[in-house]
Amino acid sequence: MTHTPHAVFRLRTARLARAVKPFRARGGPSERCPGCRVMHSHCLCALRPSVPTRAGMCLLMADIEPLKPSNTGWLIADVVADTFAFGWARTSVDPALLVLLADPQWQPYVVFPGEFVAPERLVTALLPDAASDGQQAKRPLFVLLDATWSEAGKMFRKSPYLNQFPVLSLHPEQISNYRLRHSSRADHFCTSEVGALCLALAGEPHAAEVLDAYLDVFTDHYLQAKNQQPVDREDAAHLRLRGLLRLQQHQLG
């Protein structure tokens, strides 16, 4: 891996170090690239994008999520430099997470469906971005519960340290295009899709598009590796990602 290990990579490493028995992903760990978690033959590390963003991402991850090769919180950490990742436990909380949530540069938003939230906590847009008393306006920090749907509900209910923050409920017009895990509901989005929706809401459409395109490319490499088929690096997904990155380079001069 040629990139500096990001927050999810570090969390995965720490979780593996604590494991009582080895985690067995299909394909075997030795056959997967440590940088992208896809089989070496289909590695996409060279395609990893990075987009400057004002928004930050805080991934609160269920115990086994960092170990899953199909986890898409990893993709957010690839794209968004200010991504933080913490393991979730019912009986304890990482002190570093509390420090992050209390950092005055950030305005945390817990991202969760509004139908399960008390109305007084619910927001559907970011709070007014106005600085006061000469202080710099706070940057949005999106707290994403990276877990299965049932696990995420438990995490939301049993994390009292999140109760002081507004809950952002997303209402996207599209349905999920995620193909690596099955959900019975089309409005259940994978973590990377939620991250892209948050970036768009924060006024960062280019970063949102890059993350969305990167998910498509990752999915393509992952499934083609699983099916032992070659990757078409000139297909629509790859062309879209390369086009977005060329546009970014042009804009940055």
State the pLDDT at residue 121.
93
Over residues 180-236, the pLDDT tens digits come to 455 444 456 889 999 999 999 999 999 999 999 999 999 999 999 999 999 999 999
State the pLDDT confidence band at 239, using cuts at 50, 70 and 90.
Answer: very high
198 neighbors 73 (Cβ within 8 angstroms)? no
Determine the distance from the C-alpha atom of residue 236 to the mean position of all C-alpha atoms in its chain, rounded to a whole number.
Answer: 23
- Give the integer Cα–Cα distance in Å for 163 and 161: 6
Instruction: Give the model's pLDDT for residue 79.
Output: 97
**Whole-number pLDDT of residue 80:** 97
pLDDT at 60: 98
For 24-33, the pLDDT digits (tens) are: 555 444 589 9
pLDDT digits (tens, 9 = 90+) for 102-149: 999 999 999 998 888 889 999 989 988 645 555 678 999 999 999 998
Structure-block tokens of residue 10: 């570090």
Q: Which of 15-19, 105-109, 170-174 has the lowest mean pLDDT?
A: 170-174
Q: Encoding tokens for residue 250?
A: 């042009």
CA–CA distance, 72 with 218 (Å, rounded to integer): 9
| For residue 47, pLDDT beyond 70 | yes
Give mean pLDDT, residues 69-82: 96
